[in-house]
Amino acid sequence: MSRDKILSNIGDIIKPLKDIDLDIDRKSFNDKVATFKQMLQVAGGRVVEVNSLDISTIKSYFLKNKNIIDTTKQFTDTQNAISGKEYDITIIEAKFGVAENGAVWIEWNDRYPRSLITLSEALAIILRQDNIYETMQEAYNNIDFEDISYGLFLSGPSKTADIEQSLVFGAHGAVELTIFLI
């Protein structure tokens, strides 16, 4: 079969997909914060609700807390300069969360290397409770893609399973992820 024939066949299959109506029924949750918490737990993360946040509160939720990188520059008694190759805990602020899947949106800025998100053993993510959207569709509509160079949705710690279905945490990134919900 010629290359042109193959591409033509693919084109015939793909063309009808352009007519899909993306105006789907909007999901609604009775309690989007509770849904967010539940979905993040399913993904292997945890949520800690706090009225205010200080470094001792963050440290108390992690067993290993000797090397803390604070990308938000909100806390004293942390390392703000990036040095060395081992990062135990990285503190990052999320722009918003998504209730339907427990994900948070993180926008990179030049205050820290993007690699901290995957090289740290644990992520402490700060999220304001009033910044939780119900759906991914709603979340996407609130991202200003013109103003950022890099962003990602993150839901739970890194995990993978081999063909024997053994779940392993931390294979491609943080072993644990804690959202501090203010």
Give domain status of residue 16, yes or no.
Answer: no
Task: Evaluate whether residue 89 is within a structural domain.
Answer: yes
84 vs 28 pLDDT, higher one:
28
Q: What is the 3-state secondary structure (H, E, C) of 36-52?
A: HHHHHHHCCCEEEECCC
Does residue 45 form part of some domain?
yes
Instruction: Judge whether residue 159 has pLDDT over 80.
Output: no
- The pLDDT-based confidence of 93 (bands split at 50, 70, 90) is very high
- Does any domain span residue 31? yes
pLDDT bin (cut points 50, 70, 90) of residue 148 is confident
Q: Please check whether residue 19 lies inside any domain of the structure.
A: no
**Total domains present in the chain:** 1
> In this structure, are residues 90 and 124 in contact, taking their beta carbons and an 8 Å threshold?
yes
What CATH number corresponds to the domain at position 94? 3.40.50.10420
Pairwise CA distance, residues 69 & 50, whole Å: 20
> What is the pTM for the complete model shown?
0.78
Do the strands 96-98 and 103-107 form a parallel or antiparallel pair, or are they unpaired? antiparallel
Structural domain includes residue 131: yes
pLDDT of residue 25: 63
Q: What does the alpha-carbon distance between residue 142 and residue 175 come to, in Å, rounded to a whole number? A: 29
| Residue 156 placed within a domain | yes
Does 4 map to a domain? no
Range of the domain at 81: 25-181
